[in-house]
Amino acid sequence: MAQVSELELPELDFFDVGLKGDRFHAAMDELSRAGWLAASPIGYFVLDRSRRRSSCARARPPSRG
């Protein structure tokens, strides 16, 4: 499995002072259409928790119990 730092992710410019109101919502809609995870200068943003949950569940090894 690839590490998150190796993925080509859409980017959220968290420091863009103009990213507010309708422009913010439009940017978030666009990012979420590209996937459930976005990169930024300060880290990563989970854009869709339900899709993240299913992706992580598939990545887990089977339990031994």
β-pair partners for 43: 40
Tokens of 49: 């928790």
- Residues 17-63: tens digit of each pLDDT: 999 999 999 999 999 999 889 999 899 998 886 755 555 555 555 55
Does residue 64 fall inside a structural domain?
no
Q: How many CB atoms lie within 10 A of CB 38?
A: 21
What is the C-alpha separation between 11 and 23, in angstroms, rounded?
15
pTM: 0.65
What is the C-alpha separation between 12 and 60, in angstroms, rounded?
28
What pLDDT shows up at residue 57?
53
Backbone angles phi, psi at 18, to 5 degrees: -85, 0
Residue in this structure with the two tokens 């109101």, named with its chain if needed: 21
Domain limits for position 19: 10-59
The tally of domains found in the chain comes to 1
Does residue 50 fall inside a structural domain?
yes
